[in-house]
Amino acid sequence: MLKTLNLERNVTAILENAYGIGYEKTNNEIWTASFSLPLDDPKVNKVQALKYVEITHDKDYIGLFRVIPKQTVKNENQKSVTFQLEHVLATLIGSTLFKYHQLTNKSTIEVIDYLLAQQKVKHWKRGKVEIVRYFHYSWENENVASGIFSVPKPFDEPYRWTFDTTSYPWTLNLIKPETEPACRIKEKHNLLGIEIEENPLSVFNRIYPLGYGEGVNQLGIESVNGGVPYIEDAESIAENGLFETVWVDRRFEDAASLMANGKALLKKWKEPVVTWKTSAADVSKITGAKLDELKEGKVVRVEVEGFPVTDLRIMKESRRDIKGDPGNVQLEIGNLVEDLSTTQADLERRQKVNETYAQGATNIDSHNYVDNCDQDHPAVIRFYLPADLVNVNTMTLSYETEPFRAYSQATQGGGSTVKSTSSGGGTTATSSSGGGVAKSTSSGGGTTQSSTSGGGTTVSSSAVSFNGVTLRSGVPIGGELAPYDQHEHLVLIDEGQLGHSHSVSIPAHNHSVTIPSHSHEFNVPNHSHNLTIPNHSHEITLPDHTHEIKHGIFELSSTPSKVTVKVDGTTVLGDSPSGNDIDLIPYLSKDDSGRVERGAWHEVTLTPNGLGRINANIISRLFISSQIGGTF
């Protein structure tokens, strides 16, 4: 039975006249279906593009589909209209993962929840999840359906998507598929025909996985595979020989996820692809046995004469007409071979994704430094590496040493009182050398004439008065008269007799003195001088004043002879005053994985052994992505 439903999932019609009802259920893909109506059926208009059609057969619920508008075909000759349908899982295609989305080390459940949350209309909810892994995922400008199907790609075990569209929101499940046979295809029972195709050219037992980026920046698996860029299967190589291939999927940005996906592919590719195409009769309605129900996803036991009993999974179930020929079912079991159209569609999808995917680019960055420095004030170059930096390709240092340079000789100042140090004074001795004999100059002597003025009369005193004078001499001894040779004289002069004056006349004259030529000799003995200066201090008062700056470039005549280079605290070998293209990567600080530390400052110091000027340049080649920020 077919029912049409509107977007609110209300039944609008029951298509009793539908015929040619068929479907294809492919493991882990979007199912398809089709049916036809008579051209004059009054319910043809009820089948509308992108509206829903529910298909059931007897008690079997086939699924809920929607009409694909471009696949409707009107046939005037047969007077019919054929409609193509796709499973409503395709509604996830209508929601876009716009721009860049990344999930790091999230569980499978968290990843599915995140993707389903991106639906513009919440048609789907998460149901049962039986496989839980932790991988890194990223999507850019993809649809939600593509993102959902990519979640289990890195798994190294079988998985199966199942759907429940009998209630709304519809439920999406990720389960572990059955591993035990649940049905059978047996010759002379339900087998109508079988075709086995083996393709040995499909064997690849060594894979080189490559992900995001390009050139030397393209992601590989070396960092998580012991430095080896490939994964391989030794048993397959021993049995079939070496067949290697390069597998590229630029959607992978994490090496561990890339490697896990490569291992899952290696499991499939290491053996020749064998496809079993069978045509069988669905006899379950006759036998009533569950073993005869041939359904997509089940493990079927194949019992055919000439072949060993083999258990394979039903990868594709096709029924062309469940109403007119309900027992005819075509199955593809084992490995599903993509036909040309499927392969081409996938290649186009991948090409479109890769074209819209931001791959990033290698950029050259330069950090320049020119300044004076000395042994106590080194040249310091600091730079920051952002956390989203993908790769550091190269980082080199070049530098040279120049003379110390100044641009002025004076600075402004002001007056004040400045006291000298108070220490001073004490006894200071001069040198002890000295003395000996020394001659004066030999010039000297001759006649020297005094002044010619002189002479005339000079009066010493014009009037001198005395009261009287008594002169006595030769007083006798003992007061007696002495003999004639022993007597005294007594002269008595009265006052009036002493008054007189003297006149002295000196004629005009001069004096000549003749000094013969001569020299003087004197002797100074060796000696020293002691000078005692008491402790004291001096105070100097400078008035407020300014100094004019004398502009100009002044350089020392010498340059440092050695320069010590350190990178993040690690000394770089050598102490040359210059260097070119010194590789800094071995000396930069690393994180726990051994990569150059991101989200951190790095520092290069250059310390000369004297006053100098450093001219340095750090050139970096960095691979960055364009997945963050805006367009400001």
* CATH number for 386: 2.60.120
What dihedral angle (degrees, nearest 10) is formed by the CA atoms of 402, 403, 407, 410?
Answer: 160
Question: Same structural domain for residues 208 and 173?
Answer: yes
Q: Are 263 and 274 in contact (CB under 8 A)?
A: no
Range of the domain at 55: 2-89
Question: Same structural domain for residues 150 and 283?
Answer: yes
Overall average pLDDT of the 275-286 stretch: 84
The mean pLDDT value of the chain amounts to 81
For residue 138, tell me if it sits in a domain: yes
Overall average pLDDT of the 1-24 stretch: 94
Write out the DSSP string of 382-402.
EEEE-TT--EEEEEEEEEEEE
Q: What is the pLDDT of residue 377?
A: 94
Q: 611 versus 500: which is more confidently predicted?
A: 611
Question: Same structural domain for residues 201 and 341?
Answer: yes
Question: Same structural domain for residues 219 and 347?
Answer: yes
Percent of the chain with pLDDT over 70: 78
- At 426-482, the pLDDT tens digits run 545 454 555 554 455 555 555 555 555 555 555 555 555 445 555 565 555 555 555
For residue 271, which of 320, 339, 201, 327 has the smallest C-alpha distance? 201
The C-alpha atoms of residue 367 and residue 378 are separated, in whole angstroms, by 17
The C-alpha atoms of residue 113 and residue 37 are separated, in whole angstroms, by 40
For residue 420, tell me if it sits in a domain: no
- At 541-598, the pLDDT tens digits run 777 877 777 788 888 889 999 999 999 999 997 889 999 999 999 999 999 888 899 9
Number of structural domains found in the chain: 3
Question: Same structural domain for residues 105 and 48?
Answer: no
Half-sphere exposure of residue 42: CA atoms within 13 angstroms, side-chain side: 3
For residue 535, tell me if it sits in a domain: no
Q: What is the pLDDT of residue 604?
A: 95
Question: Same structural domain for residues 103 and 68?
Answer: no
Question: Same structural domain for residues 312 and 396?
Answer: no
- At 69-108, the pLDDT tens digits run 866 677 777 788 999 999 999 999 999 999 888 887 789 9
Q: 512 versus 462: which is more confidently predicted?
A: 512
pTM of this prediction exceeds 0.95: no
Q: Are 520 and 485 in contact (CB under 8 A)?
A: no
Question: Same structural domain for residues 116 and 230?
Answer: yes
The C-alpha atoms of residue 66 and residue 86 are separated, in whole angstroms, by 6
Residue 89 — left, alpha, or beta (φ > 0 → left; ψ -120 to 50 → alpha)?
A: alpha
Question: Same structural domain for residues 231 and 181?
Answer: yes
Candidate from 2-16, 56-70, 526-540 with smallest mean pLDDT: 526-540
Question: Same structural domain for residues 266 and 284?
Answer: yes
Question: Same structural domain for residues 180 and 228?
Answer: yes
CB atoms within 10 A of CB 607: 21
Confidence grade of residue 338 (pLDDT, cut at 50, 70, 90): very low
For residue 423, tell me if it sits in a domain: no
